[in-house]
Each structure stands twice: as C-alpha cells, then as structure tokens.
Amino acid sequence: MLYIGVDLGTSAVKLLLMDETGDIKNIVSKEYPLFFPHPGWSEQNPEDWFEKSMEGIKELTEGFDRSKVAGISFGGQMHGLVALDKDDQVIRPAILWNDGRTGEETDYLNNVIGKDKLSQYTANIAFAGFTAPKILWMKKHEPENFAKIVKIMLPKDYLAYKLSGSFCTDVSDASGMLLMDVKNRCWSKEMMDICGITEEMLPKLYESYEVVGTLKEDVAGALGLSADVKVIAGAGDNAAAAVGTGTVGDGMCNISLGTSGTIFISSEKFGVDENNALHSFAHADGNYHLMGCMLSAASCNKWWMEDILKTKEFAKEQEGITKLGENNVFYLPYLMGERSPHNNPDARAMFIGMSMDTTREDMTQAVLEGVAFGLRDSLEVARSLGIQIERTKICGGGAKSPLWKKIIANVMNLKVDVIESEEGPALGGAMLAAVGCGEYPDVKTIAEKIVKVVDTVEPEEELVRKYEEKYQKFRKIYPTVKCLY
C-alpha cells in the first residue's frame, strides 16, 4: 500500500509518497506566499495551503497506482490561528507561529493570570507565538471578526477538515495552543474561560496516529483517489519530524534545523521544568516530550545568504570556513524575536565582535554558530533537569550542510546521528498514516523498522573545548543587550 505525508510548512507544502516498507517513492513541493503586513506580523491564507496541497497530491501520485493509496496524514507548522465562520469561510488570514504581535496578551497571561496558573492548567506558560494569546488579540483588536468565530483550528487541521470534513486536531499540535491540559490530554476549561471561547469552537482531540475520517467524495474525485482513503490526525511539525527521525520512546533527542530550530527530547513520563523555559507537550507516539524552540534557525542562514550576500550558493559560501572554534564574531539569531529560553518577542538579531580583519567567511560562520549556541541554551535547561543526552538525530534543511552538523556536534558535545532520509515531518506524516491504517501496531515499531542511521558526526575533544569557551561568551551577550530592545 501507499501512504502520503503532508508537511505543511511556512514557505511551502512538501508531500511525500511512501510504501509500507518505508521506501520513498516520490516527493513534491509547492510554495505559497507569506505576508508581513506590519513589522513583526506574519500571516498566510489558509486557502493557499489547500489549493497547493491538492495540486501537490495530484502531482505526487501521478504515474502510480492511485488505488493503492490507503492513508494521508500530516506534519504541520504549529500554533497558527485559523478561524472559520458559520459558513466554514476563513474569517481572516491565519496568524502564524512566528508572529510577534501578541506582546500585551502574552504579558497579561503570564503576569496577570500568572505563570503558575498557566503551568497548572496547560503545563506551559504563554509565548507570543502560541494560539491563545492570538485569540485574545483578535478579541481586543478585531471584535467583529472574533464575534464570527464558530471553529478554531491549527494549520494542518484546516487541511484535514477540507479533505475529510472532520473538525479535529491531535494532542501534539494542540499542546502548543495554550488551551490544552497536556498532562491529561484534554481541553482546559480554565483557559477556554480566560479566552472567552467554548469547547464547541475547538476541534475534537485525537492521538496523532488515529483515523479522523476518510476523503470527501468530491475531494477524492478531484484527486483521482478512492473515497475510502483514511485521513489520520497527524502531528505538529516537530513531533512529526521526531517520528520521521525515530525520536520516540524514552530519552531520545532530535535537532531540527528548519525555518525555526528545535531541540526535541522524547519521554515516557510527563515533566515540566521549573521556569517553563522548555515546552512540555504531548508526543505523537502517545507519550510526552520536552522541546526548546528558537524562532529563526535555517531562516537566519537564508536571510544572510539571499537578502544580505545576494547569493543562493549556500555550500560555496561555506567552503572557506576552516577555523572552527576560533571565530571572534558572534551572532544573536533573534530575527523574529525569540522563544526558548528567553521568551522575548522584542529580541532582535545582531552581530558583535567585528574588526578590520573580519571576513565574509567569519560572518557566515558566526550565523551558523549563533544558531548552534541558541539551541545549546535549550539543551542546558534540559541538562539542569538531570536529563543526560549523549547523542541526537538531526533533520531539516540546515542538516544538509556537513559543516553545520560538525558545528552542532561540537557546540553541543553530542554525537549527531545522520539518518537515511532527512525528510522529517513529511516522512513522519506518512509513517503516522501507515500506523493509522493498521500497517504497523504502533509508532515505535514503525520507527524501528524504517528509520536508519547512515552516519554519525562525532564531537572532537579540542573543538569541544574551544566551543565551550565561545559559548560561555555567547551566553553573556543577550542579558547585556536585552535593555536595548
């Protein structure tokens, strides 16, 4: 049988076709626009996601026996607010995960409602990108739109709704809304009351591998697929990427170098760090995970290369970088503000330490190192909880760079396992579809069967020592310049 994984990203939807053995048959990507109507705002039109996904699924399955497609599932950009009216029309463009407009609402939740209460209700505190602050922003600034809301959903769940008619979400993605009681895997009545919404406005909760419905007749006809194709709940992009890299079970780690950057630690037990610097979310395997998320990771390198250096020759720009651990230029990777561990939507990126002999290569190296240092900030929080991590998987566009993987291994002092497929959320989505269709009994089994490590980047003692010294300098920069934002 064949399974489709849909990775609904920020810049494009990536679709992957996989057979029951995990063999990837085809991959298609379709871009759509991203809008920044005001500084710090970030929006997209949900209709674009559906249109490009439909185009992509048709192209993905062309030349294959479409009668063999058994299931579709998702990995999706998290936290986005999609609001529908009584006629199922999108009320306003979706407010995305990297949107920083909700500073006041986030402060209200953390400081008036209180972090202790939020953590008690949801296992997390408020971050500007989360969905609940966006609902409060809409209530205050667009009351006429707020009054029209009948359904609230996350980006990938809009696709599931359009494909199947099922008003659903999964526990991993819902964990990032600040509306769910993560420990008990149910909606929080207290948070609904705070936001002025009802449970009827929220989708039904499923585990990531559960079937939510089948393709609607008209959708199946348009795609040339059977109306019996199952639609499986799917997961937030980081949880789906973790499935795609085999980061399931207890004490496994995955680093994702996508538009955003994450360090993801899977756990069989529920846990929260005392300062809520890491997100405590449900995992797609039925358990839990801790996650540190930085808003700009590979997007820092894309910005530096394309917007500043005016080149798309990413690999070529890295060729001249040879003096690892010796760079005197530092880069703070906060282009869109920052989540973990600083929780500051007003933070901004900066270079520091340039001199007359600073080179183009030094600046490029500083960008790569700044992202690695930023991820290490979250790793240090996990270590403070007594979590001992010795190795990590890696995925995302940035993981295609051998140099960046080497920097990550030595900054973190971790063995970095490179897997055969770096398709992350799209592969994870297809794997969840296979579990939902009964091809495998559970997520752990399919991960053990399909995910293969093909290389390991080992940290080098001397480089680890040099980067330790550099990291200790890096971690002093943000507290020093914070007053300037």
Q: Which residues are catalytic?
A: 237
Using the 8-state DSSP alphabet, how is residue 35 labeled? B
Helices and strands in the chain, H and E counts:
17, 24
Biggest alpha carbon–alpha carbon distance for the chain: 66
Find out whether 78 is annotated in a ligand binding site.
yes
Q: Would you call 37 exposed, middle or buried from its count of C-beta atoms within 10 A (0-12, 13-18, 19+)?
A: exposed
Inter-axis angle of helices 443-450 and 425-436, nearest 10: 130
Strand locations in 101-252 (E)? 151-153, 168-170, 180-181, 186-187, 204-206, 211-214, 230-232, 235-236
Residue with the two structure tokens 């949801």: 122
276, 231, 191: which is closest to 429 by C-alpha? 231
Measured distance between the N- and C-terminal CA atoms of the chain, rounded to whole angstroms: 54
Using the 8-state DSSP alphabet, how is residue 38 labeled? S
Q: Would you call 208 exposed, middle or buried from its count of C-beta atoms within 10 A (0-12, 13-18, 19+)?
A: buried
Helices assigned H by DSSP within 320-418: 360-384, 402-412
Q: Are 261 and 242 in contact (CB under 8 A)?
A: no
Q: Are 241 and 253 in contact (CB under 8 A)?
A: no
Q: Alpha-carbon distance 467 to 465, whole Å?
A: 6
The amino acid occupying position 350 is M
Q: Alpha-carbon distance 336 to 333, whole Å?
A: 9
CB crowding 409-436: b at 16 or more within 10 Å, else e: bbbbbbebbbbebbbbbbbbbbbbbbbb
Residue with the two structure tokens 């399909």: 450
Q: Alpha-carbon distance 413 to 392, whole Å?
A: 10
**Residues placed in the known binding site:** 78-79
**Residues placed in the known binding site for substrate:** 78-79
